[in-house]
Amino acid sequence: MALSTLAVVALALSACSSSSAGSTSSASAGVAESTVSFFSWDTQATMQPVIDGFEKANPGIKVDFSYSPPVTQYVSTLQTRLRSGTAADVFIITAENKQDLMGQKLVKDLSKQPFMSNIAKAAKDTYTKDGATYGAAIASWGGGILYNKDLLAKAGITTEPKTWSEFLADGATLKAAGITPFLEPGDGITVTLAALLGIKNQQLGGSMDADIWAKKQTFASTWTDPLTTWSQLFSTGMETRAAAGLTGDQVMAEFEKGNVAMIGTGSWALGTIKTAAPKLNVSFAAVPGTDGTLYWVGAVSPGYAINAKAQHPVAAEKFVEYLASKEGVALYQKQTQSITTTADFTPTLDPALTEMATAVRAGQFYLPQVSWPTHSEVLGPEAAAQMQQLIAGTSTPAKFAAALDAKLASLGS
Tens-digit pLDDT profile for residues 239-266? 999 999 999 999 999 999 999 999 999 9
Helix axes 376-392, 397-411, angle to 10 degrees: 160
pLDDT tens sequence across 314-333: 999 999 999 999 999 999 99
What's the pTM value of the predicted model, to 2 decimals?
A: 0.78
pLDDT for 387 equals 96
pLDDT for residue 23: 31
pLDDT of residue 359: 87
User: What's the pLDDT score for residue 78?
Assistant: 97
Task: Give the full edge-to-edge strand order of the sheet including 62-67.
Answer: 62-67, 35-40, 90-93, 303-306
| Alpha helices in 21-119, H assignment, sequence order | 26-29, 44-57, 72-84, 98-103
Q: Is the peptide bond before 71 cis (omega within 30 degrees of 0)?
A: yes
What's residue 244's pLDDT?
94
- Percent helix, strand and coil across the chain, each to the nearest 5: 50, 15, 35
Give pLDDT < 50 ranges for the chain.
Answer: 1-30
Confidence at residue 411, expressed as pLDDT on a 0 to 100 scale: 93
**The residue type at 397:** P
End-to-end, the C-alpha distance of the chain in Å comes to 42
What is residue 14's predicted lDDT score, i.e. its pLDDT? 37
One-letter amino acid of 220: A
What pLDDT is stored for residue 28 in this prediction?
37
Give phi and psi for 408, each to the nearest 5.
Answer: -60, -40
